[in-house]
């Protein structure tokens, strides 16, 4: 959809707007002569797309033979018996071709046409893109069209074109309207109309004395020019670009080495501050310039100001406008929110402006400033402990500094001198994260010692115990539209206060941070200026006694030497990083500062030291290649950054493959723990958690408190050595991290192994291999083993009977249908109500509208009953039974997950009842509200619900519950079926005097035997079954099929992939190469030989299954697909909104497709929809489809470009079956049927 730009055209103080949507159709009324024109036409002049038949679309069924006649008054040269004749003549097109006059074959812009039809004719203008505005006017009468689709005053549209008379035709009144001037003057005699353009044609009369004139609009753009300051460049010709040698102070926009003027400039630079810039589109010719402006793909940060058809301001990436005698202004706006800093490498976008065959491309540049700098922060506190409160709004001054070169980590400093209630400098740490949630997140703590302490800050604490304030700022860059600049930040503020009450006081609010300077005003600084000469006469040293993590460094030199170019000066840090300061230049070193103010003399950047520690000995190396001696007069180093600390610790016994993690104050780091000892550096004062994790062992954890060294005021305390900034995790018999041996995870009773990961996904283009690990956690000290040193034998088996999708489009493992008896749909003929059992209900084919993807639905009708007690026990209901034969039921074990899902739409009943039943008797009944999926949950069972809104008022509701476990319940629930009934207001519908209705489609029951694997995501724990393994009913034990020899091809039998003996070692590993043939189901078998006390040697074995999938990422990709996954908890009351639920069922499969544009078929000369995906890999989605499919997208593709779609298939369970919901048959063929639950939806994305 194209928005039109609100053009501003000024001429002799005349202001008007030329804004409208481009017409999408042209309607010609029946049996009336109309005078029309075409500002735009498809294709090139005199091409097949411009024939009368093609333009009026006479081949279509709607227009057919509606066109009667078309006439044009055209100027040209024709041949006659007396020779060539130049002048005006009529050409015409008639439905009957027997009229003897020149034939009108092609239509063109700039020409007026008389048209008559036998019935109303509508021309679809989609694809009419070419604007040829050139029209020549001769003496006498001219029949013309104008290039502007928006109406303009005639003196603007025909500026520079003299005329005596201008006539139009009103076909509704069937009369001519005119604008007439006195001969050889501009004095008006008559003016019936003023606005011209659109799709109208006009007669124009020019005096015989008027010369021939051409209406030839000329596209020209005006942008801010380059800036040339003294000494000035010699301009060869104003308005003509010329090569340019910049000098200090000159600004070359785009750095193209050319001195550009407004009319030659091809760059528009927003810098890092501007959010809106304007440019002008000028018509340097005659007539009206109709133009389009488009931002080419890939720049979602740039848009154009526009107005929609109702005059409302909007932002668009494609706009349309006109320019007459004056200039048309185009305003562009940028949004830097959630964009990473550019560090001098600006983002670029291309603005393309076209008018017919004329074209201009403007390169738009934008920088994004770094968050580093000094800010004034105003906090608006809104809540205390979750309650709205009117609190004092503090003002802080906060400085950000980079925490290492090339990283997203930052340090921040609350300035105690300028901030309110901050008694000493407070450190925060965090990161810059360019995503839709936040652009910067920092957390820090302020400690106030007890009032009796002598340490810094105690005077601000009125309590006898320590107080700790914890600050968190979660902010993003301003978009520049909220009264702030794009340098400023805004976001959420959190503060927890510990030590005053038993529970922390929690404050929440919002903050606005206005940047005062790009340089941090408050950091820790250390300066050293007393160099010493080392034993090497060319090396000098400076000792820095503060442990500051370097954010910036400045060094000053004073060296006397008559030939500075003969000196090479190198600065070397305590970490042995070298930066060359001076070499082969004539710059005087008598008073030199690095980095220099203009960077002219700098060789290497001092940024190389960023992130290093300042503490230690710095070196200055001077190499003199001349015979003249030099003298070092002075040398100093000035470092700014944050005082940082190191935490060191150890565990008593190493753990193979373990990792150690530290978290706190917005910082988290994980390291491999190869031995006993570990350390973390670069930390700010904060409370941290340290944990050691090892596969097969319980996690060891402890906490450590890092305090600000400079805050301690005890006698003799210093902060000048490395030890002063080091915190040791001392041995503590009560801390698992430092005491005793790591505790292994042990399983008592029978054998047990842990396998990680439970599912591996190999993929196209994935580097390296994937490793699976296992550990034997059997407690062999306990019965029945009583042997703590068993001998272990491992076997890895592959299930050779697994079927895979053809052509490896996803390579998802699918077992034969016979293995799905407990996980496929257990409802008979879910798409056909034939086998549904009805009790006081009847079923009708629905007369209500269906959403996309649903082919058939039913109206469920409950008969009217005049007995109030009739339905007190679900007497009226619909019974869904198992699919294999009428009357057959199914079973489920205690603890297994039962999921009921159905497409449903409210009728007179707004709720439904779902009830598992044994032998037809309901076990429990749950009432579900259709509008939002609320479950009344009167039974208090563990239950999850998911609701998806579809079209036409339909919902898809899925309910997952666990079959109960306990002494009062059987181990296996036999003879199960599902009862379904209508409900209203949380109650059974009983004693109804009228019929009650509800609409349903595709009920489904699945039973999932797998345990759910918890995965923590933030504050929510998600339970997801192992990928591709939820279909396995029981733990799969390999059969004793033959073992393959090297080079043999796998058969349908199970076979051993590898065997190994680890003896007393309880760990096992195997690495899968990244190859498609490795996809499948695997079972790891462990056999242990043990000798119990006083007994003979015995054996025991156990199995654990896992899966390996392969994804061809350049083809169709299938992601999460399970109704059996859930997270969180149900709402606690009816009034609790759905948005508050953190209980969500994952039941969607998505994949990306790219729709190709229409293609010309040479075979029949027409356009066809190719219906295939692009063969090239999409740079954004990394997806690609190589094959054609005629059923993926049912919407015509566009001629001018392809479209990108994201498809979602609700539920998306994959398995082998005959029909979507009917009975199934086992197949051994590779060409198997795949079931995807109904409810396909698509979302069109911008390319």
Interatomic CA distance for residues 874 and 977, integer angstroms: 14
**What superfamily does domain 524-642 belong to in CATH?**
Galactose-binding domain-like (2.60.120.260)
Q: Tell me the two tokens of residue 839.
A: 């009790």
pLDDT digits (tens, 9 = 90+) for 797-814: 887 654 333 222 333 333
Evaluate if residue 601 carries a pLDDT over 60: no
pLDDT digits (tens, 9 = 90+) for 267-278: 999 999 999 999
Cite the DSSP H helix spans in 649-691.
none
Closest CA to 605 of 564, 552, 556: 552
What band does 405 get if pLDDT is binned at 50, 70 and 90? low
Evaluate if residue 1202 carries a pLDDT over 60: no
pLDDT digits (tens, 9 = 90+) for 346-370: 999 999 998 878 899 999 999 998 8
* Contact predicate 283/356, CB 8 Å: no
Evaluate if residue 817 carries a pLDDT over 80: no
Q: What is the mean pLDDT of residues 388-400?
A: 90
pLDDT of res. 435: 61
Sequence ranges of the domains in the chain: 25-125+135-215, 219-223+266-366, 373-517, 524-642, 645-728, 753-814+1016-1111, 819-1011
Q: What is the mean pLDDT of residues 2-21?
A: 31
CA atoms within 13 A on the CB side of 241: 14
Closest CA to 109 of 255, 262, 288, 263: 288
Interatomic CA distance for residues 890 and 881, integer angstroms: 8
Evaluate if residue 765 carries a pLDDT over 70: no
pLDDT of res. 235: 84
Tokens 């048959």 label which residue?
A: 1225
Cα→Cα distances 361→294, 303, 305, 330, 353, Å: 10, 15, 18, 14, 6
Interatomic CA distance for residues 606 and 581, integer angstroms: 9
* Contact predicate 1103/1094, CB 8 Å: no
**Average pLDDT of the chain to the nearest whole number:** 76
Please check whether the domain covering 819-1011 is classified as CATH 2.60.40.10: no
Interatomic CA distance for residues 459 and 448, integer angstroms: 8
For residue 535, the 8-state DSSP code is S
What band does 933 get if pLDDT is binned at 50, 70 and 90? confident
Q: What is the 3-state secondary structure (H, E, C) of 1033-1102?
A: CCCCCCCCCCCCCCCCCCCCCCEEEEEEEEECCCEEEEEECCCHHHCEEEEEEEEEEECCCCCCCEEEEE
Measured in degrees and rounded to the nearest 5, phi and psi for residue 712 equal -80, 125
Evaluate if residue 743 carries a pLDDT over 90: no
* Contact predicate 190/178, CB 8 Å: yes
Instruction: Name every residue whose Cβ is closer than 8 Å to that of residue 86 and which is 6 or more positions away in sequence.
Output: 75, 76, 77
Closest CA to 513 of 553, 541, 486: 486
Residue of higher predicted confidence among 1108 and 649: 649
List of E strands, 1148-1239: 1148-1155, 1159-1161, 1166-1168, 1203-1210
Residue of higher predicted confidence among 937 and 858: 858
Evaluate if residue 1162 carries a pLDDT over 50: no
Q: What is the mean pLDDT of residues 636-663?
A: 89
* Contact predicate 1002/1237, CB 8 Å: yes
pLDDT of res. 847: 61
CA atoms within 13 A on the CB side of 773: 10
Query: Which class in CATH covers the domain with range 645-728?
Result: mainly beta
- The answer to whether domain 524-642 and domain 819-1011 are alike in fold is yes
Q: What is the mean pLDDT of residues 22-42?
A: 86
Q: Tell me the two tokens of residue 879.
A: 């019974």
Evaluate if residue 929 carries a pLDDT over 70: yes
pLDDT of res. 1077: 75
* Contact predicate 92/103, CB 8 Å: yes
List of E strands, 449-488: 467-477
Q: Tell me the two tokens of residue 355.
A: 């008018």
pLDDT of res. 62: 78
Q: What is the mean pLDDT of residues 846-856?
A: 63
pLDDT of res. 17: 34
How long a stretch of residues is the chain?
1247
Cα→Cα distances 282→357, 671, 717, Å: 16, 62, 74
List of E strands, 963-1011: 972-984, 987-988, 996-1008
pLDDT digits (tens, 9 = 90+) for 670-688: 999 888 899 999 999 999 9
CATH of domain 219-223+266-366: 2.60.40.10
Q: What is the mean pLDDT of residues 955-959?
A: 81
Closest CA to 334 of 201, 462, 481: 481
pLDDT of res. 4: 37
Rg (CA), the chain: 40
Q: What is the mean pLDDT of residues 1181-1195?
A: 33
pLDDT of res. 828: 62
* Contact predicate 579/608, CB 8 Å: yes
* Contact predicate 334/275, CB 8 Å: yes
SS3 55: helix
Evaluate if residue 152 carries a pLDDT over 70: yes
CA atoms within 13 A on the CB side of 251: 11
Please check whether the domain covering 373-517 is classified as CATH 2.40.160: yes
What band does 262 get if pLDDT is binned at 50, 70 and 90? very high
* Contact predicate 142/117, CB 8 Å: no
What band does 599 get if pLDDT is binned at 50, 70 and 90? low
Evaluate if residue 821 carries a pLDDT over 50: no
* Contact predicate 827/1221, CB 8 Å: yes
Interatomic CA distance for residues 57 and 41, integer angstroms: 13
């Amino acid at each position: 959809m194209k928005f039109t730009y609100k053009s501003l055209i000024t001429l002799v103080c005349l202001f008007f707007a030329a804004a409208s949507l481009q017409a999408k159709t042209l309607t010609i009324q029946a049996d009336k002569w109309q005078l029309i024109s075409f500002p735009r036409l498809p294709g090139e002049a005199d091409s097949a797309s411009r024939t009368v038949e093609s333009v009026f679309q006479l081949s279509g069924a709607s227009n057919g033979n509606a066109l009667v006649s078309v006439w044009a008054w055209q100027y040209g040269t024709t041949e006659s018996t007396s020779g060539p004749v130049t002048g005006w003549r009529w050409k015409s097109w008639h439905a009957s071709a027997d009229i003897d006059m020149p034939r009108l074959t092609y239509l063109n812009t700039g020409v007026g046409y008389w048209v008559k039809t036998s019935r109303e004719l509508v021309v679809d203008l989609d694809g009419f893109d070419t604007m040829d505005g050139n029209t020549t006017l001769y003496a006498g009468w001219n029949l013309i069209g104008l290039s502007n689709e928006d109406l303009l005053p005639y003196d603007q549209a025909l500026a520079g074109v003299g005329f005596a008379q201008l006539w139009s035709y009103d076909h509704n009144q069937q009369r001519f309207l005119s604008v007439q001037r006195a001969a050889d003057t501009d004095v008006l005699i008559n003016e019936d109309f003023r606005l011209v353009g659109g799709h109208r044609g006009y007669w124009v009369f020019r005096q015989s004395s008027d010369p021939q004139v051409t209406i030839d609009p000329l596209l020209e753009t005006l942008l801010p020019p380059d800036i040339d300051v003294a000494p000035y460049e010699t301009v060869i010709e104003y308005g003509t670009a010329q090569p340019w040698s910049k000098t200090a102070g000159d600004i070359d926009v785009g750095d193209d080495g050319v001195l550009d003027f407004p009319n030659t400039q091809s760059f528009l630079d927003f810098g890092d501050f501007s959010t809106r810039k304007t440019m002008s589109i000028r018509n340097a010719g005659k007539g009206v310039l109709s133009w389009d402006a488009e931002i080419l793909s890939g720049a979602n940060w740039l848009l154009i100001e526009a107005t929609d058809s109702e005059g409302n301001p909007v932002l668009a990436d494609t706009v349309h406008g006109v320019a007459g005698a004056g200039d048309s202004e185009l305003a562009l706006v940028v949004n830097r929110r959630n964009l990473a800093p550019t560090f001098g490498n600006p983002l670029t976008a291309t603005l393309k402006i076209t008018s017919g065959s004329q074209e201009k491309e403007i390169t738009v540049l934008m920088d994004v400033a770094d968050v580093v700098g000094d800010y004034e922060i105003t906090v608006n506190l809104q809540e205390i402990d979750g309650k709205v409160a009117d609190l004092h709004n503090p003002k802080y001054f906060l400085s950000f500094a980079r925490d290492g070169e090339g990283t997203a980590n930052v340090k921040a400093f609350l300035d105690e001198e300028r901030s309110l209630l901050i008694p000493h400098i407070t450190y925060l740490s965090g990161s810059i994260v360019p995503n839709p949630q936040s652009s910067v997140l920092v957390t820090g703590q302020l400690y106030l010692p007890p009032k009796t302490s002598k340490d810094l800050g105690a005077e601000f604490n009125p309590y006898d115990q320590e107080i700790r304030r914890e600050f968190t700022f979660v902010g993003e860059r301003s978009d520049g539209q909220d009264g702030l600049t794009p340098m400023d930040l805004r976001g959420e503020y959190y503060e927890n206060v510990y030590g005053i009450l038993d529970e922390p006081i929690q404050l929440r609010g919002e903050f606005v941070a206005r940047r005062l300077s790009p340089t941090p005003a408050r950091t820790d600084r250390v300066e050293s200026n007393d160099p010493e000469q080392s034993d090497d006469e060319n090396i000098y040293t400076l000792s820095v006694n503060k442990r500051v993590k370097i954010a910036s460094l400045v060094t000053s030199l004073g060296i006397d030497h008559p030939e500075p170019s003969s000196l090479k000066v190198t600065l070397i840090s305590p970490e042995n990083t070298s930066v060359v300061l001076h070499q082969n230049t004539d710059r005087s070193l008598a008073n030199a500062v690095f980095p220099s103010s203009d960077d002219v003399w700098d060789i290497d950047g001092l940024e190389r030291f960023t992130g290093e520690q300042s503490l230690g000995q710095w070196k200055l190396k001077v190499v003199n290649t001349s015979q003249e001696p030099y003298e070092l007069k002075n040398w100093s180093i000035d470092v700014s950054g944050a005082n940082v600390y190191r935490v060191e610790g150890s565990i008593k016994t190493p753990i193979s493959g373990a990792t150690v993690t530290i978290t706190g104050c917005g910082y988290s780091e994980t390291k491999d723990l190869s031995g006993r000892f570990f350390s973390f550096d670069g930390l700010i004062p904060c409370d941290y958690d340290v944990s050691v994790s090892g596969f097969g062992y319980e996690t060891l954890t402890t906490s450590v408190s890092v305090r600000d060294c400079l805050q301690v005021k005890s006698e003799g305390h210093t902060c000048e050595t490395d030890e002063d900034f080091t915190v040791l995790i001392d041995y503590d018999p009560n801390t698992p991290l430092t005491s005793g041996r790591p505790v292994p995870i042990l399983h008592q009773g029978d054998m047990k192994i842990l396998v990680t990961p439970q599912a591996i996904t190999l993929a196209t283009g994935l580097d390296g291999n994937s490793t699976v690990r296992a550990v034997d956690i059997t407690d062999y000290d306990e019965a029945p083993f009583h042997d703590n040193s068993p001998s272990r034998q491992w076997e890895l088996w592959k299930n050779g009977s697994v079927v895979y999708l053809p052509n490896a489009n996803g390579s998802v493992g699918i077992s034969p249908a016979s293995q799905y008896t407990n996980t496929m749909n257990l409802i008979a003929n879910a798409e056909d109500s034939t086998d549904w059992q009805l009790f006081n209900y009847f079923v009708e084919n629905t007369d209500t509208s269906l959403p996309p993807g649903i082919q058939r639905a039913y109206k469920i009708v409950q008969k009217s009953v005049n007995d109030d007690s009739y339905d007190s026990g679900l007497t009226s209901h619909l019974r869904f039974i198992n699919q294999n034969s009428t009357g057959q039921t199914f079973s489920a074990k205690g603890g297994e997950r039962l999921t009921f899902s159905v497409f449903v739409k409210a009728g007179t009943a707004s709720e439904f009842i779902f009830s598992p039943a044994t032998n037809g008797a309901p076990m429990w009944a749950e009432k579900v509200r259709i509008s939002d999926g609320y479950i009344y949950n009167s039974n208090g069972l563990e239950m999850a619900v998911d609701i998806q809104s579809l079209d036409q008022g339909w919902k898809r509701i899925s309910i997952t519950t666990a079959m109960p476990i306990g002494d009062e319940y059987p181990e296996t629930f036999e003879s199960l079926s599902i009862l379904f009934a209508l409900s209203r207001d949380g109650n059974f519908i009983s004693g109804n005097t009228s019929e009650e209705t509800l609409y349903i489609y595709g009920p489904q029951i699945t039973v999932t035997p797998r345990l759910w694997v918890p995965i923590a995501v933030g504050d929510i724990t998600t339970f997801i079954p192992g990928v591709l393994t939820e279909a396995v009913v029981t733990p799969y034990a390999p059969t004793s099929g033959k073992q393959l020899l090297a080079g043999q091809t796998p058969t349908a039998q199970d076979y051993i992939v590898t065997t190994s003996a680890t003896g007393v070692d309880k760990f096992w590993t195997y690495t899968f190469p990244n190859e498609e043939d490795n996809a499948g189901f695997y079972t790891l078998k462990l056999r242990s030989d043990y000798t119990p006390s006083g007994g003979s040697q015995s054996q025991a074995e156990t199995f654990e299954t896992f899966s390996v999938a392969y994804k061809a990422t350049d083809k169709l990709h299938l992601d999460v697909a399970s109704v059996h996954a859930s997270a969180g908890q149900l709402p606690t009351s009816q009034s609790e909104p759905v948005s508050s639920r953190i209980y969500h069922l994952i039941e969607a499969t998505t994949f990306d497709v790219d729709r190709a544009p229409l293609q010309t078929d040479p075979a029949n000369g027409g356009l066809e929809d190719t219906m295939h995906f692009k063969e090239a890999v999409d740079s954004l989605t990394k997806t690609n489809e190589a094959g054609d499919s005629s059923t993926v997208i049912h919407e015509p593709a566009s001629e001018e470009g392809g479209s990108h779609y994201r498809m979602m298939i609700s539920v998306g369970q994959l398995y082998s079956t005959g029909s979507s919901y009917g009975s199934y048959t086992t197949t051994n063929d590779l060409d198997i049927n795949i079931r995807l639950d109904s409810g396909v939806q698509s979302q069109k994305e911008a390319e």
